[in-house]
Structure 1
Amino acid sequence: MDLIVLAESPAPQFSKKLSKKYGPVFSIQMGCQKMVVLSGYESVKEALVNQADAFAERPKVPVLEEISKGYGVIFSHGNNWKVMRRFTLTTLRDFGMGKRATEDRIVEESGFLIEDIESRKEKPSEIATIMNAAVANIIVSILFGERFDYKNPTFLKLLSLMSENIRLVKSPSVTLFNMFPALGFLPGNHKTVFNNLEELYSFTQQTFIEHLKQLDPNDQRSFIDAFLIRQQEEKSNPNSHFKNENLQSLGSNLFTAGMETTSPTLCWGLLLMLKYPAIQKKVHEEIERVIGSAQLHYEHRTQMPYTDAVIHEIQRFANILPMSLPHETTEDVRLNGHVIPKVSFF
């Protein structure tokens, strides 16, 4: 039996109802797995902030294990997770994450996004696809050192595969597979997820080969270049974690993390602006007053308190990630008067 800790925000209705009856820390049985659910800000903060080390491990969820094979950073374990996390954070910072360089990429991409929307001449369009493309291009520019045109068939295929996998991982048949992995031989969405992933990995493998042909240690153009150079530096180390499988999973992790968070937030923002035109008007007036026809930059935030408040309210209302990624305890831990044992397998 696996003991998995699910940390949730205060909003999800099912946990809200159960927490009223059983308190902010309670357990549920999901097939062969027993899960501890943390509901509410105080409980989640106590576990994931105050006792972060004790809740740092990831459980071995069947579909996620099959997807990641223990590689990457989101669903990996132990030393591999530590090495890949450190490398990913350091490399992303080197390529401007959280700095002006990334803002410049976002500003540039927003120009392409606006141009694409205007080219549709007010015709009905699937805005989620356009937003996914814009957000993915920011990630692509860091991973590959280039961007794709929104109509590029290869790019659209990659986005379609990623979006389908994100949707299918939440489906009832995949949940059933997670609860009873012995039934994995039966047809279901889990097999579609694995097939899609193989297609994604085939593309990324070809990308690695192309980057290797032009690799220059003195001119690192992208995240992939940085990884491949580190891979060559450690090729004599049999215990090195810089393998192609880790690079494939890291690319998938970064795509998923961006598309599943930023894109839905932008879509919710557009939806709420349509629903509340009076608020939309006030936001527009503040933008016009502060920056006019100039390009919006992060430093304008302090001059636009109303717009800043609206963005925060959109994030609160949308609640795009009501349940955090599952965690697993690395040791026996006491939380809110309950003893949560170190994970064990039976």
Structure 2
Amino acid sequence: MCFSDDVTLHLTLVVSCLFLFIGFKHFWKKGNLPPGPTPLPILGNYLQLSNGDIVKSLLKLSEKYGDVFTVYLGSRPVIVVTGYKSVKEVYVDRGDDFLARGDMPSFDFDYKNYGIAFTSNMDRWRELRRFSLSTMRNFGIGKRNTEDRIQEEALCLVTELRKTKESLVEPRQYISKAACNVLFCIMFGNRHDYEDEELLNVLSLISSTFVLVSSRWGQLYEMFPWIMRFIPGRHQNIFVYMKKLLQFVEKRVEMNRKTLDENNPGNFVDAFLIKMEKENTNPKTEYHLTNLVNSTLQIFFAGVETISTTLTYSLLLIMKYPDILAKVHKEIDKVIGRERCPKIQDKNQMPFTDAVLHEIQRFIDLLPMGVPRKTTKDITYRGYSIPMHTNVFPMLSSVLKDPICFPYPNEFNPKNFLDENNQFKKNDAFMPLASGKRICLGEGLVRMELFILLVSILQNFNLKSPVPPEDLDTTPDISGLGNFPKQYKMAFIPR
């Protein structure tokens, strides 16, 4: 970020604080919360978290205050939980106490508590999750199942990569199109050509939104949402992009409504529209247009971004470690060969590749702070009194790099998931997309897509970097809600 941006950012903070100081007659009630750095009036712990990398800042604070501590984002207290045992307690052992969705102002402004992923209404969440899980299991509906869709898209992706003719390209632009098309099929019932303007526009909006939310501007908005909403800055584009995405989904829903065959639903939107018609006399129903649009965008957004970033990071890591690529190539040739498309059951015979896939997800640490939770009632936790609706950050980064759970926590090493016989070894601390009742809805889809798409690429290509492998930088370019790799170029060399 340039100097002028830094000045603008801090001036924005000063103005924000002045407005907040005028409007606030009441500050925080500390009560008996876990210990943490002393917050300042209005600012909270901004000074401890303002270096542009909130993840590192929070992990650094845990070294002083322990596995469970409190920070203030502005005047909002947040309980930060680190380490496998503590995070597992939040997700699983006492999951019902921490089951509500936490505040995410950057998204909450547009979603307004509707949809499946960002609602704090527990009855709404339970009903929509039950429906969505059942519906997602059925897709593809009819003649084609989900694996068929992914395999077909993998073939399209390989075809597009061959067209690059070994030239240097940015891989994300191809990977994200494949990931987006899989979700297009499941949610709306069709895919798009890779040069389709609508596909490219949606991908740009999703990526730009997620990057902005994770940036310093996004972090500042998360701390001071009620005043930052009215302050100029890059964060304002979040709402512009989100509005366009919601409008896109509204348009697609209307297209599906016009072609709907109630006896043969072909995708998630069709199934929801049918459910809406069945429930149209129930005044308390959760099956209405607002929940349909918001749920569809939330599932679509998360699925596209998760796969796109994970696969982009995957190719960078595998290029950096050519010995690992050689072993994966050997296993692919032995189990699958080079003629047929990979299928998910192949993974059972490919322990090293499976370990590599798990290690990629562990190492890149896609959602380092997890997705915020809230307490569902007043609770006692570790001897502290935590009120109902208190925000909680389960720091997934601290779990995926917990030295108690992984022998090589800070290096990329597939041995983290291999036993002494070089067979795949499960690890309960592997929770890249959370754990428990509120785990990512599409976690199974992510696993399937990651395996089929990545193995299809490696089955057909060698990977070539324009710089020596040892010079490839795998540290995140941005680290906030998500970790994003630095931009890089590579060539796909046919095998």
Tell me, yes or no, whether TM beats 0.5: yes
For residue 344 of structure 1, report the CA deviation from its aligned partner: 6.7
Matches within 5 A, 1:203-218: 203-218=248-263
Matched, 1:250 2:295: yes
Partner in structure 2 of residue 38 of structure 1: 81
Distance 1:344 1:326, change over 3 A: closer
Partner in structure 2 of residue 61 of structure 1: 104
User: Which residue among 145, 149, 154 is the counterpart of 1:105?
Assistant: 149
Distance 1:30 1:135 in 2: 34
Matches within 5 A, 1:191-230: 191-230=236-275
For residue 2 of structure 1, report the CA deviation from its aligned partner: 9.7
Distance 1:117 1:41 in 2: 39
> 8 Å contact 1:43–1:336 — kept in the other structure?
no
TM-score computed with the length of structure 1 as normaliser: 0.91
For residue 45 of structure 1, report the CA deviation from its aligned partner: 0.4
Matched, 1:234 2:276: no
User: C-alpha deviations, 1:274-327, integer Å up to 9, x for none?
Assistant: 111111111101111122122211221121111112212212211111111101
Matched, 1:310 2:356: yes
Distance 2:88 2:29 in 1: 23
Partner in structure 2 of residue 300 of structure 1: 346
Distance 1:287 1:260 in 2: 27
Distance 1:86 1:155, change over 3 A: same
Matched residues, percent identical? 39
Matches within 5 A, 1:160-179: 160-179=204-223
Matched, 1:259 2:304: yes
Distance 1:248 1:212 in 2: 13
For residue 143 of structure 1, report the CA deviation from its aligned partner: 0.6
Secondary structure of the 1:28 match is strand
Aligned residue type for 2:84 = Y
Partner in structure 1 of residue 118 of structure 2: 75
RMSD over equivalenced CA pairs, Å: 2.2
Partner in structure 2 of residue 16 of structure 1: 59
Partner in structure 2 of residue 182 of structure 1: 227
What runs of 5+ residues in structure 1 fail to find an aligned partner?
6-11
Partner in structure 1 of residue 176 of structure 2: 132
Aligned residues: 337
Partner in structure 1 of residue 485 of structure 2: none
Distance 2:136 2:390 in 1: 35
Distance 2:222 2:353 in 1: 42
> 8 Å contact 1:2–1:59 — kept in the other structure?
no
Higher helix share: 1
Matched, 1:337 2:380: no
> 8 Å contact 2:218–2:235 — kept in the other structure?
yes
> 8 Å contact 1:2–1:344 — kept in the other structure?
no
For residue 64 of structure 1, report the CA deviation from its aligned partner: 2.3
Partner in structure 1 of residue 92 of structure 2: 49
What runs of 5+ residues in structure 2 fail to find an aligned partner?
1-27, 35-54, 392-495
> 8 Å contact 2:103–2:372 — kept in the other structure?
no
Distance 2:167 2:259 in 1: 42
User: C-alpha deviations, 1:36-94, integer Å up to 9, x for none?
Assistant: 10001100101110111110112343322212111111111222222211111111012
For residue 341 of structure 1, report the CA deviation from its aligned partner: 2.2
For residue 172 of structure 1, report the CA deviation from its aligned partner: 2.3
For residue 176 of structure 1, report the CA deviation from its aligned partner: 2.4
Matched, 1:289 2:334: yes
Q: Which runs of 4+ in 1 moved over 6 A?
A: 2-5
Partner in structure 1 of residue 194 of structure 2: 150
Distance 2:383 2:336 in 1: 53
Aligned residue type for 1:16 = L
TM-score computed with the length of structure 2 as normaliser: 0.65
Distance 1:132 1:121 in 2: 19
Aligned residue type for 1:147 = R
